[in-house]
A and B are shown apart, each in its own frame.
Chain A
């Protein structure tokens, strides 16, 4: 039995051009209920354009865009979403409470004001003017505005930019809470550890297409390499000939190995140099996988 997923929004074969520039080149993307999808990619990969289409801010030149089975410009569909944009200006002379009440008024059944404020960690800021807040506090207010309407789908575009570590952790906790409520989330971020910590599914975009799609683990396994670092005086050019070692470099007293068979390599390595010390073994993270993917696509482009 194949698993059934509920789709809350989708792009199919979406094409968007800005003059000579093709921002989206036949993009297929599905957002599932109750899932956090991280949308990654270098600048200009098409992340913002994809979000603009899903929010109804721009029209696709070709292909289909659906939000809850409707046109995203249909207000009935948009009443089920919450939005936190990357660069948001809000009226500086209004208080946080006034901003929250205004945004809540757009929705049929919003959260109580106190609940939204509590979830975003701004309960103590309600009577302050927006202009008087720090950048991180303003970001939290924008997050409160995004969740106040009890959305079924939340768009978070670079939500933690400008936040300190503590604020970021709190926001992550709030995001996990929303997913537990059944909310779907689309997250774009430059912080790969954010995607690693939160995402059930990661889509990597490049040049307006999907380069890779899958779980964080699946994406990571795309780069099967494990990094081994240690202090040793073994000869790196000899090591590079070993089975299971793809790359060997020396960095001062340390050597750095990339291996696709780390268990075998480690056994041999420890035998070969009993004096070996400060051993570190690390699987490739999302960052390496991401670099690898976008590099490959650049090479493909050149080869094509």
Chain B
């Protein structure tokens, strides 16, 4: 029996338009999928908005206007972290277990489309939370914000979610399945507290104040304060630190993902 191997050149090259279309379709599917899942969307949007409404607005009715402005920034960062950590980390951990990631790897999904899709979903979810918080701040707490400040705040939310996506991704490659939400909460809640999102840093013990710069959320909080016109320090060191966190977590995570699948 003689054997010939089927031609090495694919009969149908992938047109660039279709390739781009596949990336878009993946992002669209990922967004639709999570925005239709109340189990994801409700905690992600309700926690920061309810906290802000309760602690930032209702309980601070008689405080000066800067309190509501300050708390917009810190609850904003609290709201940015969860779409990244949960939307990216928990879903990756679950999909490594339930076989969806295996199927995506077997199918000719374009490289990185799966991760980019999750990233766009996290950015959109974070942007939604920022929009809700802005609406509360401007509409209910009467915080005076210029259009540029509001836009910067929105931008802070949508780009600021990326280092937390990378951190979530790293956790998602370390923990598999149902264990992930617990691990993510162990990171999310203490980190929020330690970076002064619930209480101003100045009210925390000095030792906690000194280690605060090791948390990425501390740097994002500075940027958020800056966006709403309250930051004291220049923005670029915080931007650099966040970029370094993001790239670092991402590299560690993708190396691990490549090795273990």
Residue numbers of A with Cβ under 8 A of B are: 2-8, 10, 30, 33, 55-58, 66, 68-70, 75-81, 83, 85, 87-94, 98-99, 101-103, 105-109, 149, 152, 155
Contact A85 B14 (CB under 8 A): no
Contacting residues, chain A, for B230 (C-beta < 8 A): none
Contact B100 A89 (CB under 8 A): yes
- CA A85 – CA B26 in complex, angstroms? 20
Contact B108 A57 (CB under 8 A): no
Contacting residues, chain B, for A69 (C-beta < 8 A): 5-8
Q: Which residue of B lies closest to A30 (CB)?
A: B3
Residue numbers of B with Cβ under 8 A of A are: 1-8, 10, 12-15, 18, 21-22, 25-26, 29, 32-34, 36-37, 95, 98-100, 102-103, 105-111, 261
Contact B14 A87 (CB under 8 A): no
Give the shortest distance, in Å, between A158 (CB) and chain B (any CB).
13
Contacting residues, chain B, for A56 (C-beta < 8 A): 105-106
- CA A93 – CA B13 in complex, angstroms? 32
Contacting residues, chain A, for B6 (C-beta < 8 A): 6-8, 33, 68-69, 152
Contact A91 B3 (CB under 8 A): no
Contact A105 B108 (CB under 8 A): no
Contact A55 B106 (CB under 8 A): yes
The one of B4, B8, B102 that contacts A68, using a Cβ cutoff of 8 Å: B8
Contact B8 A105 (CB under 8 A): no
Contact A90 B1 (CB under 8 A): no
* A-B interface pairs (CB < 8 A), number: 119
Contact B33 A91 (CB under 8 A): yes
Contact B2 A107 (CB under 8 A): no
Contact B15 A78 (CB under 8 A): no
Contact A106 B99 (CB under 8 A): no
Contacting residues, chain A, for B95 (C-beta < 8 A): 89
Contacting residues, chain B, for A106 (C-beta < 8 A): 22, 107-110
Contact A79 B33 (CB under 8 A): no
Contacting residues, chain B, for A92 (C-beta < 8 A): 37
Contact A85 B10 (CB under 8 A): no
Give the shortest distance, in Å, between B24 (CB) and chain A (any CB).
8
Contact B3 A57 (CB under 8 A): no
The one of A4, A93, A149 that contacts B36, using a Cβ cutoff of 8 Å: A93
- CA A107 – CA B25 in complex, angstroms? 12
Contacting residues, chain A, for B32 (C-beta < 8 A): 93-94, 98
- CA A77 – CA B8 in complex, angstroms? 9
Contacting residues, chain B, for A80 (C-beta < 8 A): 10
- CA A115 – CA B105 in complex, angstroms? 25
Kindly list 19 other residue pairs between chains A and B, CB separation below 8 angstroms, not including A69-B7, A92-B37, A98-B29. A3-B2, A10-B5, A33-B6, A78-B107, A79-B108, A81-B108, A83-B107, A85-B106, A88-B103, A89-B98, A90-B100, A91-B33, A93-B32, A99-B29, A105-B21, A106-B107, A108-B12, A108-B13, A108-B18
Contact B108 A85 (CB under 8 A): no
Contact A7 B3 (CB under 8 A): yes
Q: Which residue of A lies closest to B22 (CB)?
A: A105
Contacts A79-B10, A108-B13 known; A85 to B99 CB distance under 8 Å?
A: yes
- What are 12 A-to-B residue pairs whose CB atoms are below 8 Å? A78-B106, A83-B107, A89-B98, A89-B100, A90-B100, A91-B33, A93-B32, A93-B33, A94-B29, A102-B26, A108-B10, A108-B14
- CA A8 – CA B103 in complex, angstroms? 21
- CA A10 – CA B10 in complex, angstroms? 17
Contacting residues, chain A, for B1 (C-beta < 8 A): 2-5
Contacts A5-B3, A98-B32, A106-B107 known; A76 to B10 CB distance under 8 Å?
A: yes
Contacting residues, chain A, for B36 (C-beta < 8 A): 93-94
Contacts A56-B106, A75-B110 known; A93 to B37 CB distance under 8 Å?
A: yes
The one of A4, A70, A103 that contacts B107, using a Cβ cutoff of 8 Å: A103
Contact B106 A83 (CB under 8 A): yes
Contacting residues, chain B, for A88 (C-beta < 8 A): 99-100, 103
Top 10 nearest A-B pairs (CB, nearest first) are: A89-B98, A93-B36, A108-B12, A105-B25, A78-B108, A105-B22, A79-B108, A55-B106, A69-B8, A91-B33
